[in-house]
């Protein structure tokens, strides 16, 4: 099965690059929340779940086959299921 958007193939390395970029953004968010949020873990989990849901929106509107959309959405959810608990587990429940 070829993953294509608007007739152009999605490079396999693109998945890894985007996952890494979003993981780094999540780590930066976690660092900011550790410093400024009263409940860093809860705030991080809430924010990242909301961002994960928002990341599914482009997959729904992209001009691609249903199978490609499904794979894109599943990769978002799989990456979030791995990264969110790992980062959240390193945040304190409360800072104050």
Give the start-to-end residue ranges of the domains of the chain. Answer: 41-96
List pLDDT tens digits, range 39-82: 999 999 999 999 999 999 999 999 999 999 999 999 999 999 99
pLDDT at position 3 over 90: no
Average pLDDT, the chain: 93
pLDDT exceeds cutoff 90 at 7? no
Reported as type and span, the H/E element at residue 82 is helix 66-88
Contact between 34 and 95 (Cβ < 8 Å): yes
Cα separation, 22 vs 67, whole angstroms: 23
Please tell me the distance from the alpha carbon of residue 43 to that of residue 25, in angstroms, as a whole number.
15
The model carries a pTM of: 0.90
């Amino acid at each position: 099965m070829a993953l294509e958007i608007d007739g152009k193939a999605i490079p396999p390395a693109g998945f890894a690059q985007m996952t890494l970029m979003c993981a780094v953004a999540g780590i930066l968010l976690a660092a900011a929340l550790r410093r400024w949020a009263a409940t860093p873990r809860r705030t991080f989990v809430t924010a990242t779940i909301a961002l994960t849901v928002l990341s599914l929106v482009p997959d729904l509107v992209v001009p691609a086959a249903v199978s490609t959309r499904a794979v894109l959405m599943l990769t978002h959810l799989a990456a979030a299921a791995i990264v969110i608990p790992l980062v959240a587990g390193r945040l304190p429940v409360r800072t104050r």
